[in-house]
Structure 1
Amino acid sequence: MSIEVSNETTYEVDESEFADLARYVLDAMHVHPQAELAILFIDPEAMTELHVRWMDLPGPTDVMSFPMDELRPGTPTQSSEEGILGDIVVCPEVATAQAREAGHSATEEMLLLVTHGILHLLGFDHAEEEEREEMFALQRTLLLTFLANR
Structure 2
Amino acid sequence: MSVEVNNETDYEVDLHDVQKLADSITEAMFIHPETEVSIVFIDEDAMSELHVEWMDLEGPTDVMSFPMDELRPGSETAPSESGILGDIVICPTIAEAQAKAGGHAVHDEILLLTTHGMLHLMGFDHEEPEEKAEMFTLQRRLLEGYTGRPAPKETVE
Q: TM-score range by the shorter chain?
A: over 0.9
Name structure 2 gaps, 5 residues minimum. Answer: 150-157
Q: Distance in 2 between matches of 1:140 and 1:25?
A: 12
- The answer to whether the aligner puts 1:139 opposite 2:139 as a matched pair is yes
Q: Distance in 1 between matches of 2:98 and 2:15?
A: 20
What is the percent sequence identity of the aligned residues? 61
Aligned to 1:43: 43
3-state DSSP of counterpart to 1:22: helix
Q: Distance in 1 between matches of 2:54 and 2:70?
A: 17
Aligned to 2:33: 33
Task: Map 1:87-98; keep pairs closer than 5 Å.
Answer: 87-98=87-98
Matched to 1:132, the amino acid is K
1:53-86, CA deviations, whole angstroms, 9 ceiling, x for partnerless residues?
0000000000000000000000111100010000
Query: Over aligned residue pairs, what C-alpha RMSD do you find?
Result: 0.8
Matched to 1:45, the amino acid is D
Aligned to 1:52: 52
Q: Distance in 2 between matches of 1:148 and 1:22?
A: 15
Aligned structure 1 segments of 4 or more residues deviating by more than 3 angstroms:
none
Return the offset for 1:95: 0.5
How does the TM-score come out when normalised to structure 2? 0.94
Name structure 1 gaps, 5 residues minimum. Answer: none
3-state DSSP of counterpart to 1:39: strand
Aligned to 2:127: 127
Q: Distance in 2 between matches of 1:14 and 1:133?
A: 29
How does the TM-score come out when normalised to structure 1? 0.98
Aligned to 1:115: 115
